[in-house]
Structure 1
């Protein structure tokens, strides 16, 4: 890439990172603070897990993607460790989406008595533990780190594919850890929509139909999150497949950077999607912004009041000094003192 292209790529990455951080912090605040008793619902707990993973993409994955592009010289071990962090965050997103799909599927089969808050957070913990195990798998030996790299006196430039094996990325990460869960989630959502459509046809109770319609709308929103994830991440993995089969000449460097930007942008788009598709989160967003602006206006009003009070006090003091201050402060002079000053 030319210099201006690299500057443009880095600038877009910075914007994506800022959007990831701000948007997903807002999601966590909306769920944890803005929606009453939301953390008792498994779906919102898994949404918080997904938002945390997207937030960490902005905090860690995006800076590492820029850094691990040959700009720093690190030991192969440290380079491999930092590259695995990106894989961990990807797995956390996939497993959070899978947990959401399983939760919506089981919800149709009356499992509410089993879905306690403790078990839900236990499931979230299991998702993150599995993410760490799967993401840090290259540390166990399936990598490009060779003994010649460790014996060199000067560490080579650290890049992602210099330490992460392409067969690992294609066969294990893409086919096993991304495509397999995506296929399972697709089947689950197909089953969910088929079941909801059948219940809507069989139900004659208006309240039951309204509840089923809300359930279908939420399922559509969550399925859209899944579709956007697949659209954002699959192109980059397909490029890895081409690199493995045909070699480095199969994919241009600009295409790789475009795929990286697309995958990172997914973490910034999710909070916007929640705002437009999930009513509870939309209402929580509105409440948070309303409180923010009310508090900000209150602070400005208090500052203006303090300024007006201070200005009034200073004006009053000035008037007192001009009208009565000099006469009050001037002491009567004696005969000797008068003659000295008058002379």
Structure 2
């Protein structure tokens, strides 16, 4: 078991370094190369920012959760919620990309009127806001009513202290936590040290976040529903192209037809990125579904770690897939990478002849 945990930590560490490097490379490519700075590339850069958060904080937090160290409840809850924020933002941006691609291909006249960089960045900001509210909902105590359940032995399923006290928003703001009805109890006669000790416990995601919240809210409502809508948009897009009449061989190809082919290739690439996201994240979510509805089933000890590792792999594979499919973007990434290596390489000094 210890050997398996060591291998898992090493793999996660290597993956975190690679994710950070590739995400920074994507952002630098969009910033430095104006020829690839399209609206789609800017959205890919937004995904890279989320992947950067996964590599810099999400993966280290997940490793800490797997070690089950004794931590403060609030620290543990923040570490468990942060990966949910980045994952939710990635899902919403994928949906925005699907809507943009559908409008550009199927309704070009409306696309020219409705879509521009300013409005797109406003939508991205709203995606961040919605992701923060949805991912940090357990910090507000919104999932604690679901998680406060009793088993057959009349014992709490969580190992931390009273769940009614564990809401950061409810403790520091007068009306915080009003949606969850979580209130502060027995606080006036306790010192800070007593409160701090009462919040210590073994830190893991299942100890602080309810499985109902992860399955019903994060998976079904926050992940599966938006991705299904994106798949429907791509299906309608490609079905509309299939139903269209092909041009006759005698007719000269107008310029817009080449642009149409480029948009079709881009749509296929974005659809492949969506399928890749589903393949990487579905095993993790399905494991949570099995644990919720069939808690008696004994899953292999290595399976949760494998599914988590696979979900983090998407942050590395997604940008590489886009760069491989979009040749101009891949060439721009290679030029930025080569420029960085050439700057870091020591130059040979030329001494004057005597």
SS of residue paired to 2:319: helix
- 1:162 aligns to 2:207 (yes or no): yes
How far residue 202 of structure 1 moved from its aligned partner, in angstroms, is: 5.1
Contact 2:25–2:337 (Cα < 8 Å) also in 1: no
Task: Report the counterpart of residue 183 of structure 1 in structure 2.
Answer: 228
Contact 2:71–2:203 (Cα < 8 Å) also in 1: yes
Task: Report the counterpart of residue 237 of structure 1 in structure 2.
Answer: 285
Contact 2:88–2:131 (Cα < 8 Å) also in 1: yes
- Is 57-66 or 277-286 further displaced after alignment? 277-286
More helix by share: 1
SS of residue paired to 2:200: coil
Higher Cα Rg: structure 1 or 2?
A: 1
Task: Report the counterpart of residue 49 of structure 1 in structure 2.
Answer: 46
- 1:106 aligns to 2:103 (yes or no): yes
- 1:80 aligns to 2:77 (yes or no): yes
Task: Report the counterpart of residue 123 of structure 1 in structure 2.
Answer: 123
- 1:148 aligns to 2:148 (yes or no): no
Q: 1:44–1:154: structure 2 CA closer, same or farther, 3 Å change rule?
A: closer
Contact 1:80–1:163 (Cα < 8 Å) also in 2: yes
Task: Report the counterpart of residue 347 of structure 2 in structure 1.
Answer: 300
1:281-323 CA distance string (max 9 Å, x none): 11211321343354456x513xx21xx34xx5xxx6xxxxxxx
Q: 1:85–1:201: structure 2 CA closer, same or farther, 3 Å change rule?
A: same
How far residue 42 of structure 1 moved from its aligned partner, in angstroms, is: 2.4
Q: 1:154–1:106: structure 2 CA closer, same or farther, 3 Å change rule?
A: closer
Task: Report the counterpart of residue 327 of structure 1 in structure 2.
Answer: none
> Which 5+ residue runs of structure 2 have no aligned equivalent?
148-157, 166-194
TM-score w.r.t. length of structure 1: 0.82
- 1:97 aligns to 2:94 (yes or no): yes
Task: Report the counterpart of residue 282 of structure 1 in structure 2.
Answer: 330
Contact 1:20–1:55 (Cα < 8 Å) also in 2: yes
Task: Report the counterpart of residue 59 of structure 2 in structure 1.
Answer: 62
Q: 1:82–1:200: structure 2 CA closer, same or farther, 3 Å change rule?
A: farther
> For residues 18-29 of structure 1, what are the structure 2 equivalents within 5 Å?
18-29=17-28
How far residue 248 of structure 1 moved from its aligned partner, in angstroms, is: 5.8
- 1:195 aligns to 2:243 (yes or no): no
Contact 1:42–1:117 (Cα < 8 Å) also in 2: yes
How far residue 173 of structure 1 moved from its aligned partner, in angstroms, is: 0.8
Task: Report the counterpart of residue 222 of structure 1 in structure 2.
Answer: 270
1:178-209 CA distance string (max 9 Å, x none): 11011101100011112233446258552232
How far residue 254 of structure 1 moved from its aligned partner, in angstroms, is: 0.6
Query: How many angstroms apart in 1 are the aligned matches of 2:133 and 2:247?
Result: 45
SS of residue paired to 1:156: strand
Q: 1:154–1:192: structure 2 CA closer, same or farther, 3 Å change rule?
A: closer
Contact 2:161–2:198 (Cα < 8 Å) also in 1: no
How far residue 139 of structure 1 moved from its aligned partner, in angstroms, is: 2.2
> Which 5+ residue runs of structure 1 have no aligned equivalent?
317-343
